[in-house]
Amino acid sequence: MKNTLYLSLFSLLLLSCGNSNDQDVDDVIETNDLQEIRAKKLELSKQQSELASKMDRLDAAINQLDKSKGFPLVSAVTVTDTTFRHYTRVQGDVATRENILIYPEFSGVLTRIHVTEGQRVNKGALLATIDDGGLKSQLAQLEAQAALAKTTFERQQRLWEQNIGSEIQFLEAQTAYESAQNAVNQLGSQLGKTSVRAPFSGVIDEVVTDEGQVVGPGQNPLFRLVNLQNMYVEADVPETYLNKIQTGTPVIIEIPAINKEYEGTVKQVANFINPNNRTFQIEVSIPNDDGLVKPNLIATVKLNDYTSENAIVVPENAIQKNSMGESIVYVLQPENDSIGVALRKMVETGYSQNNLVEVTSGLNAGEEIIVEGARNLRDQQKVKFSN
C-alpha cells in the first residue's frame, strides 16, 4: 500500500510540474550530449529522493493521527426476516408408464414393417402387418353365409309377424343368423390382429424384428414404443419422513446428466413401507418439453421437509462455537461510518441449507452481524468495517 501511495504522490507532483519537464527531457535527449543527459538524470534523481523523504514524513503523520489503524477490518451484513426452507435429498430414477415392448397377437410371417426407428406415431397408427394365412378368404365365406342367414331370418320374421309358420322355424332362423354373425365378428377380430397398431402416441425407439421373420404372441418383440411427454421421478424416502411428506409437498428435481433442475410437487405417496429398507415410494411429475429427459436417468429429489416464515437466517461462517459448545455471533454496533464495536451474542440455531443457518433465538431483524473477520474477535472490541 505504501508503494502505491508513493507512486500516486509522485505522479501528482509530476503532473503539477506540467509538461515542461517532459519537454526538457526530450530537448536534452535531442542534443545527443552525453554529459548533459547524465546531468538531467542526476537532477531528476535528486527530485525523486526529495519526494520519497516528504512521503515518509506524511506516513509518519498519518500513523500518528489514525487511531483506527490497529483495528481489525471486518465486513457485516444486515439481518432480515425471510422464508426459510429446508430440503432433504434422496436419490430417484426417471420413469414413464408409456415405455413398452410391442409383441404380436397373431402367429405368422411378418410381411411388412411400416415405421422406422425414431419415427413419431399416433395412437392406432399401423406399425406392421403379419401374413393372415388365408383368414381373409375364410372371412369372405363367413360373411356370405351370414348374409344368407340374415335374409332367411328377415323373411321368416315377416312370416311370423303374419302368423304364418311355426315359432320354432322363426327361432331357428334367428339363431342361425346370430351364430353366423358372431362367427364373422370373431374371425374379423382375429384378422385384425394381423395388423400391429400403436397402443398410444409416442416414438418408435427400436425396431426389434426384421421383415420375413415368423413371429408369435409373447415370443418375438417387434418394437419399443416410448412416450416422453408423461415423465415422472420415483424415489424411496426413509419412513422417518412419513409425517412430513404428503401429496402436494414442494419438491426440487435435479438431473445431473443433463444439468437440469425442475420444481414440482409430490404427485403420489405410497401406502406401503418396504420392509427391506424401511422406505416408502413417492412420485413427482416433471415436464419434458425439450425431450432431454429420458427413462432411467438418475435424479436427485430435494423434499421440502421444513418451512419457517419470517425466519432469521445468517451465513454459516458467521456462527462460531465457544468452549462450551454454544453458538455465538458478533453483532456490529457502528460508532461512525467506518468504526464500530463487536458485541458477542449467544444464539440458538435450527436447520441449515446452502451455507445458511436459521437462528431461532438471540438475533432480531435489522441487526448487523459480522461475517468476514469474526474468527479472532473479542467481545467489545473496536473494529473497522465495510458493508
Supply 234's cell numbers. 420415483
Average model confidence (pLDDT) across the chain: 85
Going from the C-alpha of 130 to that of each of 103, 215, 225, the distances in angstroms are: 12, 8, 19
Non-local CB neighbours of 307 within 8 Å, separated by 6+ positions: 83, 84, 85, 86
8 pLDDT band (50/70/90 cuts)?
very low
pLDDT of 12 reads 46
Supply 168's cell numbers. 320354432
pLDDT of 129 reads 93
pLDDT of 7 reads 43
Going from the C-alpha of 239 to that of each of 97, 236, 266, the distances in angstroms are: 25, 9, 16
- Please tell me whether residue 192 adopts helix, strand or coil conformation: helix
Domain 73-83+309-386: which topology? 2.40.420
* Residue 42 reports pLDDT greater than 90: no
Answer yes or no: are the C-beta atoms of 201 and 226 closer than 8 Å: no
14 pLDDT band (50/70/90 cuts)?
very low
pLDDT of 4 reads 43
- Please tell me whether residue 41 adopts helix, strand or coil conformation: helix
Answer yes or no: are the C-beta atoms of 142 and 184 closer than 8 Å: yes
Q: Where in the chain is the domain with CATH 2.40.420.20?
A: 73-83+309-386
13 pLDDT band (50/70/90 cuts)?
very low
* Residue 74 reports pLDDT greater than 70: yes
23 pLDDT band (50/70/90 cuts)?
low
- pTM of the predicted structure, to 2 decimals: 0.56
- Please tell me whether residue 276 adopts helix, strand or coil conformation: coil
Q: Where in the chain is the domain with CATH 2.40.50.100?
A: 108-225
pLDDT digits (tens, 9 = 90+) for 262-271: 998 999 999 9
* Residue 191 reports pLDDT greater than 70: yes
What's the mean pLDDT in 354-361? Answer: 91
Q: Where in the chain is the domain with CATH 2.40.30.170?
A: 89-97+226-307
Going from the C-alpha of 86 to that of each of 15, 197, 302, 321, 356, the distances in angstroms are: 59, 48, 9, 22, 10
Give the whole-angstrom CA distance, residue 128 versus residue 69: 86
The least confident of 11-20, 30-39, 71-80, 110-119 is 11-20
Which percentage of the chain shows pLDDT scores above 90? 33
pLDDT digits (tens, 9 = 90+) for 128-178: 999 988 888 888 888 888 899 888 888 888 887 888 778 888 888 889 888
* Residue 385 reports pLDDT greater than 70: yes
Non-local CB neighbours of 261 within 8 Å, separated by 6+ positions: 252, 253, 254, 255
* Residue 77 reports pLDDT greater than 50: yes
Give the whole-angstrom CA distance, residue 234 versus residue 301: 9
What's the mean pLDDT in 306-310? Answer: 89
Domain 89-97+226-307: which topology? Elongation Factor Tu (Ef-tu); domain 3 (2.40.30)
CATH code of 108-225, in short, is 2.40.50.100
* Residue 5 reports pLDDT greater than 50: no
Non-local CB neighbours of 52 within 8 Å, separated by 6+ positions: 6
The least confident of 19-28, 289-298, 339-348, 375-384 is 19-28
pLDDT of 289 reads 83
Query: What secondary structure does DSSP assign to 72-133, as a single string?
Result: PEEEEEE--EEEEEEEEEEEEEEEES-EEEE--SS-EEEEEE---TT-EE-TT-EEEEE--T
Answer yes or no: are the C-beta atoms of 94 and 231 closer than 8 Å: yes
